[in-house]
Amino acid sequence: MDYSSCDMHEELFVEILSPQVHVPLDQEKVVHERRCYEMSPDPSSKWSATRDLAKLYADAGHYDQAVAICKEAMENPLLGDHRVDLWFQMGMISEHKRDFDAALHFYLNSFNAGSASSHFQYWQHNNVAFCYLARKEFALAETHCRKALDLDEINWIKGSGRFYGDSKHWNAWKNMGVVMEHTGRYLEAASFYTTGIKLSHGNRRAVLHLRRLLERHPDVAASWKEPVQDLLTYYNVTV
């Protein structure tokens, strides 16, 4: 990609969001999940059926129907304790649709829908930050990135390195790198991208961001202590 010929903000989506690939709607699975929802006596099973049914429609590109399924489930009193999950699910569906205004609306509502674990709160703040990046609201994106990073650190300390996996989450580090880059803090951006690459063991999106930054700013590349090619080689990433 010729970075010099592209708008910097648009590249965020050219590079991060992979082309949408929809699968045919599996009617047999739809019938199965609807039956599970109707027959399940306990809230957890009903929530699982709702989530899986909505995902079937979203994966097939029927985003509005997927959101409608979640909204219908909201009216079920048995799912009162899963309202936070339903709001968040609608946010993810809208994000896949690339309707970031709707995604932000749903994610923000999830904060007020009930209590959530600190692990879940990490994803709430991380995803809200990404939506604010899409809206070019970098100050708000930074606020939520920092909250996500603080939560991840707390979760890590809680589990002595074994809480929700063997490493910290990388997503908020990458998102914070985008904030730093778009607000002119290039060395900080390189640092956040590099940490994101290490925590993700070479995630292609984080690598692309760092490589783009160093190509666009040779002065940063000259002073940065960890050249991107070393990371590419170490993690065997092909870009």
Q: Which among 1, 202, 151 is positioned nearest to 10, based on CA atoms?
A: 1
Q: Are residues 46 and 93 in the same domain?
A: yes
Assign 14 a pLDDT band (cuts: 50, 70, 90): very low
Average pLDDT in the 25-50 region? 90
Q: Give the per-residue pLDDT at 207.
A: 87
Q: Give the per-residue pLDDT at 40.
A: 85
Report yes or no on 5 lying in a domain: no
Mean of all residue pLDDT scores within the chain = 85
Q: Give the per-residue pLDDT at 221.
A: 82
Q: What is the pLDDT of residues 101-127, one digit of tens each?
A: 999 999 999 999 988 899 999 999 999
Q: Are residues 128 and 55 in the same domain?
A: no
Q: Are residues 111 and 23 in the same domain?
A: yes
| Helices within the chain (DSSP H only) | 8-16, 27-39, 43-59, 63-74, 83-97, 100-111, 118-134, 138-158, 171-182, 186-200, 204-216, 218-223, 228-235
Q: What is the CATH number of the domain that holds 204?
A: 1.25.40.10
pTM, entire model: 0.86
Q: Are residues 174 and 200 in the same domain?
A: yes
Q: Give the per-residue pLDDT at 5.
A: 34
Q: Give the per-residue pLDDT at 201.
A: 86
Task: Check residues 183 and 236 and name the one with the higher pLDDT.
Answer: 183
Looking at the chain, the whole-number percentage of residues with pLDDT higher than 70 is 82
Q: Of the residues 85, 115, 145, which one is the last residue of a structural domain?
A: 115
Show the tokens assigned to 66: 């997927």
**222: how many CB neighbours lie within 10 A of its CB?**
9
Report yes or no on 3 lying in a domain: no
The domain in which residue 172 lies consists of 118-239
Q: Count of domains in the chain?
A: 2
Q: What is the pLDDT of residues 48-105, one digit of tens each?
A: 999 999 999 999 999 999 999 999 999 999 998 999 999 999 999 999 999 999 999 9
Q: Give the per-residue pLDDT at 8.
A: 56
Looking at the chain, the whole-number percentage of residues with pLDDT higher than 90 is 56
Report yes or no on 126 lying in a domain: yes
C-alpha 65/C-alpha 8 separation (Å) is 33
Q: Give the per-residue pLDDT at 214.
A: 87
Q: What is the pLDDT of residues 128-158, one digit of tens each?
A: 999 999 999 999 999 999 999 999 988 876 6
Report yes or no on 8 lying in a domain: no
